A = this chain, B = another copy of it.
Amino acid sequence: MHQLSAVALVCTLTPSPKPSSSELMARHVLEQLEQHGVRTSSVRVVDHDVKPGVQVDMGEGDEWPALRQQVLDADILVLATPIWMGHPCSIAQRVLERLDADLAETDEQGRPIMYDRTAIVAVVGNEDGAHKTIADLTQGLSDIGFTVPAQAGTYWVGEAMQSVDYQDLDQVPEKIAATTAGAARNAAHLARLLRTEPYPAA
């Protein structure tokens, strides 16, 4: 039986090795996916030179093709981003722009190449912006061909105009932990279904 796999694209603006709330939230999602037998890996996108553009390969020095291969190799994509100015951050939008090229890529059955993959969105911020960030990213990922499970977004933000980070919390609030667990459980279930019975061709 096929073992499911997941990759997290962590879109923090902060390069390694500094700690990142987005990365921590992604890790919490991945830990939950592992409970369902999913093999996981994670990459911090800002550590790589992902060129601006909307083609699969933007040429010399572009490190997106290697990241894209990790998405293609996985059944589940976890897209994790901080909120800045109320929006998905520029790195997350860059990832969407690079995935946009895959709208035109099709498999041997003529289906968009990202079909049968499932996506989760994980969002952190000091305050406000999570629902909108989840909306922007799930719409983009659905467009590209990913399937969005029930309650596929997990998030933490503080009260209005506050400045605490997710990684500063003494412990993850129970409701957030339950939402993270639910998103992972649903994604694993759906990924397994789509692995067994892929979307039909037109």
A residues 41-93 in Cβ contact with B at 8 Å: 46, 52-54, 84-91, 93
A47 to chain B minimum Cβ distance, whole angstroms, is 11
Q: Chain B residues near A136 (CB, 8 Å)? A: 86-87, 135
Cα distance A54–B186 in the bound complex, in angstroms: 26
Instruction: Classify the interface of chain A: helix, strand, loop or mixed.
Output: mixed
Beta-carbon contact of B161 and A176 below 8 Å: yes
Nearest first, the 10 closest Cβ-Cβ pairs linking A and B are: A86-B131, A135-B139, A132-B132, A148-B148, A90-B94, A90-B93, A135-B135, A13-B52, A85-B140, A161-B175
Q: What is the interface size of chain A, counting residues whose CB is below 8 A from a CB of the partner?
A: 70
| Contact in complex: A138, B148 (CB < 8 Å) | yes
Q: Which residue of B lies closest to A117 (CB)?
A: B150
Which residues does chain B contribute within 8 Å of A200, judged by CB atoms?
A: 185, 189
Interface centre among A53, A54, A84 (most CB of B within 10 A): A84
Is A134 part of the binding interface, using a Cβ–Cβ cutoff of 8 Å? yes
